[in-house]
Structure 1
């Protein structure tokens, strides 16, 4: 388990895909949910992964009868606003139920713990 150098907090928001004639590629905020869905303390990579998976499941229940085709839970660092991770859910073509589309994507998978050295550090 990878532990972050410093504990940090993420704010999660939920965006949805258009249910029909919307602009392709545009994911507006989900109008059925609060703009700020949650704020969570992150200490390890597993914390971030579980936060995204758990909140995705909660959102799926809250908007079960909505007309949307897909939604994303976005986790942003509260201090920098940078994207720390996200997960996408889609409607199952067979059942119409929400299913998680793949593993959540997190900055942990891309080396956010050990940033590349700056030019000064490398010299």
Structure 2
């Protein structure tokens, strides 16, 4: 298990897929949740992965009856605002329940063990 040389903190936010007449690809902050969803210390790569996975499950319960079809939990370094990782959840077409789309994406998975301002900016 990779341990980071220096502990860092991430703040998590939740964005949702825009619906209706909104522009495709627009992910505004979820209005039903606080803008700052959480803040966590990261010591090991697994900490970031588990933070995203766990908070995604919590968000799924909190927005269970929302009209959204997808949401993302974003983890950004509190000092640099660099994106350290994210996870996406989608509503199942069969059951209407939230399911995690894939495993959380983290910089650690790509050998980047300290968030930088340009890390994973495509999310």
TM-score (norm 2): 0.90
The CA RMSD measured in Å over matched residues stands at 1.4
Deviation of the 1:23 alpha carbon: 1.1
Q: After the TM superposition, which parts of structure 1 deviate over 2 Å for at least 4 consecutive aligned residues?
A: none
Structure 2, unpaired ranges of 5+: 115-123
CA offset digits 1:47-105 (Å, max 9, x no partner):
00000000000000000000001000000000100000000000000000000000000
Which position in structure 2 is the counterpart of 1:82?
Answer: 82
Q: Quote the Cα distance in structure 2 between the aligned partners of 1:22 and 1:97.
A: 23
Shift of 1:25: 0.3
Residues 1:68 and 2:73 are matched in the alignment: no
- In 2, Cα distance between equivalents of 1:2 and 1:12: 21
SS of 1:85's partner is strand
Counterpart in the other structure of 1:9? 9
- Ranges in structure 1 where 5+ consecutive residues have no aligned partner: 115-123
Q: Secondary structure at 2:102's aligned position in 1?
A: coil
